[in-house]
A and B are shown apart, each in its own frame.
Chain A
Amino acid sequence: MPGFLAALVLVATGCSGPANRPAERGSGSPAAAPASGAFPVTITDDDGIAVTMKSPPQRIVTFAPSNTEIVFALGLGARLVGVSGRFDDYPPAARKIDEIGGAGDFGVDPNIEKVVALQPDLMLAISGGEQWKDRLRELGIPVFTINATGFDDLVHDIRTVGRLTGATVAAEQLASKMQEQERTIVGDLSSEPRVTCFFEAFYPPLTTVGPDTFIADLLAKAGCDSVSASAKTDYPEWSVEDLVKENPSVYLVSSESGASPAAVAARPGFDAVDAVAHGDVVPVNSDLVSRPGPRVVLGLRALAEALHPDAFP
């Protein structure tokens, strides 16, 4: 599910936002053993729940497209028996797996019966949905929640999932590769001046991202000083007046918003923004920046190129 959409739903259903994030994360020491891990393993998840795996899970259900991508990237695709829904579209093999989502008041909760029927020995979830998580735990299904707050946290989460599933070697390889790619991109930008940017998550109303979101972390790494860095919520409606006043030099449009540069320029008042007047309105593939998964390095690279075209000839 797209990031801000998930957040909207979480807010609407009164589930936990970043405020509920446990301060302490991951109980275990850094994955020292590169072997296929030590079982049983007990790890505290981002909801503060201690989850114990007696042996490597053989039937995994994911709830969030980002988790699906992580599981596949760790080479565990064959063990995946359920995914959240039609947004679990990468890699293409994910489309063929049973879908468990679509229940609840907003159609964004997992269908408990379906999950139980799949007999999973691990469910990998993201933040929110305390009620159905409790229900699944009562039914004996371990639910492990990861909530990546930024790139570094995501890399940590990938290593954690590796320990939990016994795929420590693959996780270490993936995590180091992502860190290396991130360092290269950030290094390429080291001599570049920072630019002001605005990220449009949705329109109308003009909706952007707050400083505590995953996207905001990528934007910062890509050398952007975001107009909405002062926002108090994660997906705030933003004043167009303020956009005109702050006058960002790059205007990023998420593919979820789907507005073309011409459509952006045609909106009332937007032609007063330098980025719009100079044609620096850049579409961004939301799947690459809002899904905390292995592909965020591609998203980071795309953002860096959009913000600093001269640094990437």
Chain B
Amino acid sequence: MIAPKRYGAVIVALAAVLLAALLLGVAVGAVWIPPVQVAKLLAWKLGLIRHPDVPRASEIILFQLRLPRVVLAALVGAALAVSGMVFQGLFRNPLADPAIIGVSSGAALGAIIVIVVAGADAMGGLGVPIAAFVGALLTALVVYRLARIGPVVHVATLLLAGVAMAALISSALSLLMSFSGEQIRNIYFWLLGGLSARGWSSITDVTPPILLGVVAAATMRHDMNLVVLGEERAAQLGVELERFKRRSIAVGALLAASAVSVAGVIGFVGLMTPHVLRLIVGADHRRLMPAVLLAGPTLLILADLAARTAIAPEELPVGAVTALLGGPFFLFLLRRQRPDARA
């Protein structure tokens, strides 16, 4: 654990990096907009200056395409990172992640079933996110039931059940892809993940559930600390274990499903962010959560920036970028950590 003073510095640094990532994400894209134009447009939007004399295309690109995309990346990054933190805390295992325990693919499966059966606009557009949440929750519950032996859920069986469930869902998805015909590309998009093609409406749709999930996670951070010490000790210290586990699963599923419903399956953000920050600020969730909330958005904003500029004007799927960045980095961390088995 680090000293409070140093923790403060870490948080300030993380906030500064997030701010820099936000500005960079807005300033840089497939189309070059001179920074002066960007600054003028932002200042105008903030009510500081009168409408500047800039090309209309620049204004549209900035406010209708780039800014919502960066904001959505921040929201999805936060949701995935906090979801990962909740699951890692619950399972007391740094490898727990919405994708690894099958929750993200469960959400994608739910969404894809609705898309294939009823179309993307089912129930006035509510069908897909609701199906994603149902898929995530059902997956988490099935995993929970499978892993539950007697009155308690053992972490090892839970993780095993999660891996088995993820495999089952992925074969169900392959099957759906075989039968889906022209929808195959749509499914492909959900599986690879992407933040393109989303506007402000996606942000207003997804903000309430993410906010709800983050607030709920924040109220649980004390219990999470106690559970980290061991289930038995947590119970002795007054944590209602089963209730805590159910709530963790619901919150983790809600956050993962919210992310999946607007961006598809994006891996490694929920795995890496809490894991890396635990190494820096320690395992106390009261300190960990603010750091995770700042770093998750940063990571996804930068990954998406790479996705949309690396081979511009063509784009890469952001899920491929996070896997590309996250995979080797994660392996490196695992390796570095081996000698002293902390975390």
Q: Which residues from chain A sit less than 8 Å from chain B, CB to CB?
A: 2, 4-5, 8-9, 12, 86-87, 102, 105-107, 202-207, 228, 230-233, 236-242, 244-245, 247, 256, 267-269, 271-272
Contacts and interface: CB of A to CB of B under 8 A. Distances in A.
Interface of B: 29-31, 56-57, 60-61, 64-66, 68, 174, 177-179, 181-182, 184-185, 188-189, 194, 196-201, 308, 311-317
A287 to B, nearest CB: 12
Contacts of B29: 239, 241
17 contacts: A5-B185, A12-B188, A102-B178, A204-B194, A205-B194, A207-B185, A236-B314, A237-B196, A237-B317, A239-B29, A241-B31, A241-B61, A242-B30, A268-B64, A268-B201, A269-B199, A272-B64
B313 A242 contact: yes
Given A8-B184, A237-B315, A272 B56 contact: yes
B60 A239 contact: no
Nearest to B121: A263
B315 A238 contact: yes
B30 A239 contact: yes
Contacts of A206: 196-197
Nearest 8 Cβ contacts at the A-B interface: A268-B199, A107-B178, A204-B197, A242-B313, A239-B30, A272-B60, A269-B64, A236-B314
B125 to A, nearest CB: 12
A129 to B, nearest CB: 16
Nearest to B66: A241
Given A244-B61, A245-B61, A8 B188 contact: yes
A107 B177 contact: yes
A238 B317 CA distance: 11
A73 B57 CA distance: 48
Contacts of A204: 189, 194, 196-197
A232 B314 CA distance: 8
Q: Is the interface of B mostly helix, strand, loop or mixed?
A: helix
A230 B179 CA distance: 34
Contacts of A205: 189, 194, 196-197, 315, 317
B185 A240 contact: no
A76 B312 CA distance: 46
**Max chain A C-beta neighbours (<10 A), residue from B30, B200, B308:** B30
A202 B174 contact: no
**Max chain B C-beta neighbours (<10 A), residue from A105, A230, A242:** A242
Nearest to B312: A239
Given A205-B194, A267-B197, A256 B182 contact: yes
Contacts of B196: 204-206, 237, 239-240
A105 B184 contact: no
A106 B56 CA distance: 44
**Max chain B C-beta neighbours (<10 A), residue from A4, A9, A256, A268:** A268
Given A244-B61, A268-B64, A237 B316 contact: yes
Given A241-B61, A268-B65, A230 B313 contact: yes
Contact of A244 (B65, B68, B182, B311): B65
Contacts of B61: 241, 244-245, 269, 272
B30 to A, nearest CB: 4
Given A205-B194, A268-B64, A107 B179 contact: yes
B314 A238 contact: yes
